[in-house]
Amino acid sequence: MKSKPLDFLATGVAILLLWQGLCWLVGPDVISSPGDTLARAAMLVVTRAFWGHAEATLSAFALASLISIVGGVTIGLCLGLSRFAAEVADPILSTLYSIPKITLYPLILLAFGLGLSAKVAFGAIHGIFPVTIFTMNAIRNVAPVYHRTALMMRLPWYSRAARIMAPAALPEMLAGVRIGISLTLLGTLIGELFASTSGIGFALMRAMDIHAVVDILALTVLLFGFAIAVNAAFWLVERWVRHGS
């Protein structure tokens, strides 16, 4: 276990070397070198324009995440509690989850226009289905013996919900939320790429239009960093709920 930080360091170095090798192979017109890119990223994060875009993206992402989580958990709970409803909804939800939402961008644009609401809508349609599906299955998968024990103890519904159902279903629900949040970020960024006038996605689209390779890669590296941080935070919460507390 002691070697873990070392492993991460080695992986990081390996990725940088691979990147540099690729850069030498195909030339800086296609891939800028890691040194240039990271320098550019460091330069970007101190500019005011970058933080303006970051703020736009973050607020859209936060709003879309809120809709995905609250909507997904509410719908998932309602469906999970009724066997029949879950059976009716399951195939519909997995179909909606699996269709490539990017094809719907013209529809979203026409319905919401350019701007915040389109980005949020795009983020939410990416995130809400995994959250709903995982929540529904988490509730359905709670072992029947827990229900019966709770009934036997004559627990009122609120303690049954808080002390039996929540601890049993929470880990799986959190896994759904983690996946949903990742996809919400993807959706929000796609929305910004195609349907907005501000945000990191918009900055990326502009960099793509003028073929600023260093900018594209620098912004992508920053996005990856952010995505990894969000993911790691959720992993920690999930692990804490599973093992700790």
Partner 1 sequence: MKGRRPSLSRAAAARLVLILSFFVLLELLCRAGVIDRVTMIPPSEMVVALAHIIVSGEFNQDIVFTTANIAAAAALATVAGFFLGAALHAVPRVRRTVVPLLSAYYAVPTFVFYPLLLVAFGVGRTALIVMGALFGTVAMIVNTVLGLDHVPPAVARTGQMMRIDPLRQLLLVRLPSAAPHLVTGIKLAVSYSVIGIVAGEFILATAGLGKRIAFAYNNFDNKSMYGLLLLLLIGVMIVNGAMSAWERRLHRRFGQQ
**Nearer of residues 161 and 205 to partner 1, judged by Cβ:** 205
Binding site for partner 1 (CB under 8 A): 3-4, 7-8, 10-11, 26, 29-31, 83-84, 87-89, 91-92, 94-95, 98-100, 102-107, 109-111, 144, 181-183, 185-186, 189-190, 193-194, 201, 204, 208, 211, 213, 216, 219-220, 223-224, 227-228, 230-232, 235
Cα–Cα distance, 226 to 104 (Å, whole number): 26
**Nearer of residues 209 and 245 to partner 1, judged by Cβ:** 209
**Min. distance of Cβ 212 from partner 1 in angstroms?**
9
Lookup: tokens for 239: 């692990």
**Nearer of residues 135 and 188 to partner 1, judged by Cβ:** 188
Cα–Cα distance, 63 to 75 (Å, whole number): 18
Cα–Cα distance, 68 to 85 (Å, whole number): 20
**Min. distance of Cβ 43 from partner 1 in angstroms?**
19
**Nearer of residues 10 and 43 to partner 1, judged by Cβ:** 10
**Nearer of residues 84 and 158 to partner 1, judged by Cβ:** 84
Cα–Cα distance, 136 to 94 (Å, whole number): 12
Which sign does the torsion angle of CA 37, 43, 46, 51 carry? negative
**Nearer of residues 70 and 92 to partner 1, judged by Cβ:** 92
Cα–Cα distance, 137 to 148 (Å, whole number): 19
**Min. distance of Cβ 48 from partner 1 in angstroms?**
23
How many CB atoms are located within 10 Å of the residue 182 CB? 17
**Nearer of residues 7 and 46 to partner 1, judged by Cβ:** 7
**Min. distance of Cβ 3 from partner 1 in angstroms?**
8
**Min. distance of Cβ 245 from partner 1 in angstroms?**
23
Give me the long-range contacts of 160-167 (CB less than 8 A, separation at least 24). Answer: 165/139
**Min. distance of Cβ 130 from partner 1 in angstroms?**
11
Q: Which of 114, 123, 118, 164 is nearest to 142 (CA)?
A: 164
Cα–Cα distance, 145 to 138 (Å, whole number): 15
**Min. distance of Cβ 6 from partner 1 in angstroms?**
10
Lookup: tokens for 204: 């990326």
In this structure, are residues 164 and 102 in contact, taking their beta carbons and an 8 Å threshold? Answer: no
| CB hemisphere CA count around 245 (13 angstroms) | 11
